[in-house]
Each structure stands twice: as C-alpha cells, then as structure tokens.
Amino acid sequence: MNSDQASAEDLAALRAAFDVDDGGESALGWEAVRAFEAEHGVVLPEPYRTFVAEVSDGSHQGPPEYGLLGPAELPDDWGDDGSGRKLGEPFPLTAAWLWEEDDGPYEDPEAVIEQVLNHGSVVLGTDGCAMNWHLVVSGPQRGHIWQVTDVGAMPFGSEFGFTTSEPGFAGWVKHWAAGKEWFDDPSAQ
C-alpha cells in the first residue's frame, strides 16, 4: 500500500467502481483539497487524495452502505457538529480493540475512545447503526481504513487478518466493488 502516490491502476479501479464520468465536475479540485489539508494540518493519503480532487467528492452509491462522504462531511447520525475533530492529531490505535469487552491497555479508555472517534481520520461514511468507516490521515495507521462502531474498532486489510483484501482506500473500494462481505474469512482461501 502506497499512501503517498496514486497509481494509474488504482485510479482506474476507483473511477470504474463509482462509475463517475462527469469530467471531474463532482470532484473538489486541487485548490479545495489543498485548502482542506491546510485547514486541518494533514495531507490526505493517496489514492483518496487524487480521487476527491479529480474524480468525486463523495458518491450516493457505496461504499459504504449509505454512500461515500466527502472529506469535510460526517454521517447524519454522527451526534454532534464535528467541531471537536482534530485530523492532524494521530489516530491512536494500531490494533483492533473491542472496548465493549475490555479497557485495553489504557489508563483512561474513555479518552482513547474519544480520540478514535475524532483524531486523525476522515469519516468515509456509514453502514448505519453507528458503524462508520474511517480513513486514517495522521499517525502510524495513515492510509489504512478502520471500521469504528459503538463497541470497538478494527482495521481493514489482509495484513490484519479480518479480510482477504488489500489495505487502504483502493483495496477497500475494490473489495466492495467485487461484492464481497466486508470481513470475509481469510481462512477460507
């Protein structure tokens, strides 16, 4: 996974998956992407960065179930206005954590949960019922996709063992476009 350079293959797969052929009219454009990055103190990972600049700033079709949001948007059920979000602060997790079942190795688990929700990621969208997909933009997991729910968080990608698909935005979209279950069984391959 290269989060610093978009490949032509990944961009072609993203265009095909979202069936976007409007000449970039639904895209943010590079000036708006750079303004968003400057405002939040981040550089969006590739190929997501090029996708929102040149292809589309979100889509009513998935992924996820209720459509892909633009980088400045939040799902309707987010609960607040998102003013406490700090994209430049590092996303705190490097491994799956089911906080409903344990406090993990954290002295203040509630503070870490708040950071998982609000630090270092853009919310790509929701599958409903507070099951949101995040693209990490800051910290050691930069470029990786995470599913964050009300009970825990888990990374997406074959290297984490929950799926057979490539990590990152392009791998996540290709997985969806292939009609696979989000967390297909790697042991069945």
List the one residue out of 20, 5, 8 whose CA is nearest residue 177. Answer: 20
Q: Which domain holds residue 113?
A: 8-181
Position 94 in a domain: yes
d(CA 167, CA 169): 7
Position 21 in a domain: yes
Provide the domain count of the chain: 1
| pLDDT of 20 | 66
Position 187 in a domain: no
Position 66 in a domain: yes
| pLDDT of 175 | 93
The neighbour count for residue 101, using CB atoms within 10 Å, is 9
Position 143 in a domain: yes
Tens-place pLDDT, residues 78-136: 878 888 899 999 999 999 999 999 988 899 999 999 999 999 999 999 999 889 999 99
d(CA 119, CA 161): 24
Across the chain, which distance is largest between two alpha carbons, in Å?
A: 50
Q: What is the rounded average pLDDT for all residues in the chain?
A: 91
Position 186 in a domain: no
Position 2 in a domain: no
Position 188 in a domain: no
